[in-house]
Amino acid sequence: MKWSAPVHVAGSGIISSIGNTYDECLQALRESKHGIRALTSLASVHKQKLPVGEVNLTHAELAARAELKKPVTRTAMLGLLAAREALKNSGLKENSRWRKGLVSSTTVGGMDRSEIFFPAYLNDSSSGNLADVIHHGCGATTDIIAQHLGLDDFNATINTACSSSANAIIYGARLIRHGLLDVVVAGGTDALTKFTINGFKSLMILDDEPCRPFDAARKGLNLGEGAGYVVLVSDKVLNEEGLQPKALVSGFANTNDAYHQTASSPEGRGSYEAMEKTLAMANLKPEQISYINLHGTGTANNDLSEGTAVKRLFADKLPPVSSTKAFTGHTLGASGGIEAVFSIMAITHQCVFPNLRFQSPIPEINIHPQQHFEERTIQHVMSNSFGFGGSCSSIIFSKTPLTR
């Protein structure tokens, strides 16, 4: 079939509240060590109170790790670290001749610095340090990462709210299938900001304790920050460079719930259609999926809606499912990228991750998520990402005979 050339994941990179590298994150998942702690980094009334998934590095420490002379926006530094790790992990040589690109997502962009600028500007419109707003736009984050990694020939930025980086991976895979690029680094990054913390607070969907996705008594989400990227390559690159494939991108879909600006339809019609179309594209039946990494934010609305859709599609063939947001918090524009990396970990290390703090199932759907780290045979992993504006995306990553 046309447009169905294989797209391989050759590498992945991640930074989150449970670890600054791929290995650290995997170790935390194995040991069920979550990263939800009281906020420390922002000058906010919620500091030292609100539980969040914060990356355990200051701006200066991030800049040093990223080999920058001085800090840029936190979003860009997180993204640069994870994208660089993904490239290194892929084994792709730096000066290879391939047509390379970066497709990156962010919802806040340089907001972590804009919100420092803005109060000064409000007080006096000629005041505020312009260096703090110069990277406000989402595209500026992508540009910074691309410039430092030599990916600036083609780059794109997607912002579909919380599903953004799943859409970046889907778009990257399509660019390769269409023969427009050979290598795409795809994923997303978001830093914690007062803007998003207060936004979700005003919507009254933040839990003031560590979140409990898919639990009957869930009270909301914890915000998090971080970045996750995968390196997607064509067959040709894989073979000629002798890279070791980590997984195959075997299916994906992007749909819209068209129900409400911020709430999901009760039956999860958008998420159902995204999962169904993804299975169809991968030519798989529900019972062939070995693990679902749920969107599972911990809000009353998302988990019931997503759970209803999952239950309807998988019925009594439900594989192990879990939301890893109990570990990392909801990292918004980074979550699809971070959870894609977790999905690839599940394939590489043949394991599934626990859904922390689960006690009792949501009565309407009676789904018991995976409760412990467990080694088991993993062939196909489905990763769900949904967002404001009814945005629903699903991706299936598969183990291939080549996967090592």
Partner 1 sequence: MKAFIRGIGIVSPQHTGNGKRLPDAPVDYANNFLTCIEPDYSQWLNPQQLRRMSRVVKMGTSSALMALADASVEKPDAVITGTGYGCLEDTGTFLTKISELNEEALNPTPFMQSTHNTIGSQVALLLQCRGYNQTFAHGAFSFEQALLDTLMLLEENPDQHILTGGIDERTQASHAIQSRFNKYRNNSPGTLSLFNTPAKGTVAGEGAAYFVLSGAPGNHAKAMINAVQTFSTAFADVAETRIREFLQHNNINPDDVDVILTGKSGDMEGDNQIEATLASVFQNSSVGVFKHLCGEYCSASSFALWLGAMMLERQEIPEIVLQKNVHRPMRTILIYNVYFRNHHALILLRSCHPTKN
Q: Which residues are catalytic?
A: 162, 295, 330
Binding map of partner 1 across residues 328-367, x = CB under 8 A, - = no contact:
----------------------------------------
**Distance (Å, rounded) from C-alpha 190 to C-alpha 187?**
11
Site for partner 1 (CB under 8 A): which residue of 24, 61, 152, 240?
152
- 284 three-class SS: coil
Q: Does 137 bind partner 1 (CB under 8 A)?
A: yes
- Return the amino acid letter for 160: T
**DSSP states of 156-210:** EEE--GGGHHHHHHHHHHHHHHTTS-SEEEEEEEE---HHHHHHHHHTT-B-SSS
β-bridge mates for residue 183, sequence order: 100, 233
Positive or negative CA dihedral for 283, 287, 292, 294? positive
**Distance (Å, rounded) from C-alpha 8 to C-alpha 134?**
36
Please say which residue, 148 or 357, places its beta carbon nearer to partner 1. Answer: 148
Task: List all residues 6 or more positions away from 15 whose beta carbon is below 8 Å from its beta carbon.
Answer: 21, 55, 78, 81, 82, 85, 226, 227, 228
Positive or negative CA dihedral for 214, 217, 220, 224? negative
Q: Does 46 bind partner 1 (CB under 8 A)?
A: yes
DSSP 105: E
Q: Does 262 bind partner 1 (CB under 8 A)?
A: yes
Please say which residue, 95 or 261, places its beta carbon nearer to partner 1. Answer: 261
Nearest Cα neighbor of 38 from 48, 29, 28 is 48
Site for partner 1 (CB under 8 A): which residue of 159, 271, 308, 384?
159
Quick one: which segment of 190-198, 227-235, 242-250, 346-354 binds partner 1 (CB under 8 A)?
190-198
Site for partner 1 (CB under 8 A): which residue of 119, 150, 360, 364?
119
Q: How many residues bind partner 1 (CB under 8 A)?
A: 65
Q: How far is the CB of 83 from partner 1 (least distance, A)?
A: 16
**301 CA to centre of own chain:** 20
Q: How far is the CB of 212 from partner 1 (least distance, A)?
A: 23
Quick one: which segment of 10-18, 253-261, 281-289, 316-324 binds partner 1 (CB under 8 A)?
253-261
Q: Does 198 bind partner 1 (CB under 8 A)?
A: yes
* Window 372-391: residues binding partner 1 (CB under 8 A): 387-391
Q: How far is the CB of 36 from partner 1 (least distance, A)?
A: 20
Residue 64 phi/psi, 5-degree rounding, is: -65, -45
Q: Which residues bind partner 1 (CB under 8 A)?
A: 2-3, 44-46, 107, 109, 114-115, 118-119, 121-122, 125-126, 130, 133-134, 136-140, 142-143, 152-153, 155-161, 167, 171, 174-175, 178, 180, 194-195, 198-199, 201-204, 254-262, 269-270, 273, 387-391
